[in-house]
């Protein structure tokens, strides 16, 4: 999807309608360039103000330098933003080839998104791509680490929890990590599961091997190793075994009992609906029976 986003964004930036160009403004310093529509001046100033701290936190986490100046584009409304990403689920996107971040500002400060969290998530993508060649950075790891670095927040609107990962754990119908190497699926449920899996596998690596283990994997990727070699060198476990262990971990902690316990309100609501439906059907059947009985009596 990111290649399509880059192409659309390129044409959008060189062919913006005059009405939109007239509202564009730029705020920049030595560290970041913020391009925005003039009503978003306060948001642009916030980005410029928080950028140094966000950058420092990422540099401290990964022990890598972020030695480039990104451009952050703030889009005022969702309709214009969706022309870029062609998805109603995405609230921000990073374009590493241009060191560019595009944010749908209308979704900021709507739980759980804030400018700071969103900026950190997307800047993490730029940092990873800056230090690791694209062919060595699988999408699941890229997205999982960006979520981990930004406190578990994805770049999509999750909406109401659908428990897609728990459902996959119960059914065993995971999306293979190999299938999430280059891109995520476009089906809404599948893409939600892809994001959840990416977050979960990174959290599992940290749980079992510590943050240092994860950073070792990243450093091996940075040094040119592919993901299989980087995982084996960093964690001393083959890729396939790591994925199997992670699946086993999820399935052991997710049972039908825990699933229904965590969704007790929804289960009770569903059962109440069934009871009401059953009662209503019985009422209609009784009413019909009384009506038929009355007609029979009138006919005799």
User: Torsion over CA of 190, 196, 202 and 204, rounded to 10 degrees?
Assistant: -110
- Tell whether 107 is covered by a domain: yes
Residue 261 pLDDT greater than 90, yes or no: no
Q: Mapping DSSP to helix (H, G, I), strand (E, B) and coil, where does residue 75 land? A: strand
Q: Mapping DSSP to helix (H, G, I), strand (E, B) and coil, where does residue 150 land? A: coil
Element (H, E) at 103: strand 100-104
Of the candidate ranges 35-39, 100-104, 182-186, 264-268, the one whose mean pLDDT is the lowest: 264-268
Last residue of a domain, one of 111, 131, 151: 131
23: confidence class by pLDDT, cuts 50, 70, 90: low
Encoded tokens for 35: 């391009």
pLDDT tens for residues 167-206?
999 999 999 999 999 999 988 899 999 999 999 999 999 9
Last residue of a domain, one of 101, 131, 161: 131
Distance CA 178, CA 231 (A): 14
Q: How many helices (H) and strands (E) does the chain have?
A: 12, 5
| The length of the chain, given as a count of residues | 300
- Tell whether 5 is covered by a domain: yes
- Residue 295: the pLDDT is 58
- Tell whether 121 is covered by a domain: yes
- Tell whether 149 is covered by a domain: no
Alpha helices in 162-226 (DSSP H): 164-171, 188-222
Mean pLDDT of 249-274: 60
Count of domains observed in the chain: 2
Q: Are 30 and 9 a contacting pair, CB within 8 Å?
A: no
Which residues have C-beta within 8 Å of that of residue 118, sequence separation ≥ 6?
A: 91, 92, 103, 108, 150, 153, 155
**CATH number for position 50:** 3.40.30.160
Encoded tokens for 1: 């999807």
Residue 79 pLDDT greater than 70, yes or no: yes
* DSSP designation for 108: T
The number of beta carbons lying within 10 Å of the beta carbon of residue 178 is 13
Last residue of a domain, one of 107, 131, 155: 131
- Residue 58: the pLDDT is 98
Structural domain range at position 22: 1-131
């Amino acid at each position: 999807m990111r290649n399509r986003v880059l192409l659309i964004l390129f044409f959008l930036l060189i062919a913006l309608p005059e009405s939109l160009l007239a509202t564009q403004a730029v705020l920049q310093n030595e560290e970041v360039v913020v391009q925005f529509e003039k009503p978003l001046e306060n948001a642009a100033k916030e980005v410029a103000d928080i950028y140094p701290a966000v950058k420092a936190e990422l540099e401290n986490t990964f022990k890598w330098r972020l030695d480039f100046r990104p451009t952050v584009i703030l889009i005022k409304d969702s309709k214009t933003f969706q022309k870029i990403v062609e998805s109603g689920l995405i609230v921000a996107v990073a374009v590493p080839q241009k060191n560019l971040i595009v944010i749908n500002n209308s979704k900021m400060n709507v739980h759980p998104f804030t400018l700071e969290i969103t900026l950190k998530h997307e800047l993490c993508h730029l940092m990873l791509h800056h230090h690791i060649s694209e062919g060595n950075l699988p999408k699941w790891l890229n997205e999982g680490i960006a979520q981990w670095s930004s406190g578990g927040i994805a770049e999509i609107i999750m909406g109401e929890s659908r428990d897609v990962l728990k459902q996959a754990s119960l059914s065993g119908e995971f999306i293979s990590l190999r299938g999430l190497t280059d891109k995520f699926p476009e089906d809404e449920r599948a893409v939600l599961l892809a994001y959840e899996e990416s977050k979960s596998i990174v959290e599992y690596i940290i749980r079992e091997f510590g943050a240092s283990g994860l950073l070792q994997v990243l450093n091996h990727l940075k040094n040119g190793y592919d993901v299989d070699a980087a995982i084996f060198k960093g964690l001393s476990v083959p890729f396939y075994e790591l994925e199997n262990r992670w699946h086993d971990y999820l399935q052991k902690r997710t049972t039908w009992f825990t699933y229904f316990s965590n969704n007790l309100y929804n289960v009770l609501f569903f059962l109440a609906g069934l009871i009401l439906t059953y009662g209503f059907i019985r009422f209609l059947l009784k009413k019909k029976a009384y009506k038929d009985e009355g007609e029979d009596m009138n006919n005799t």
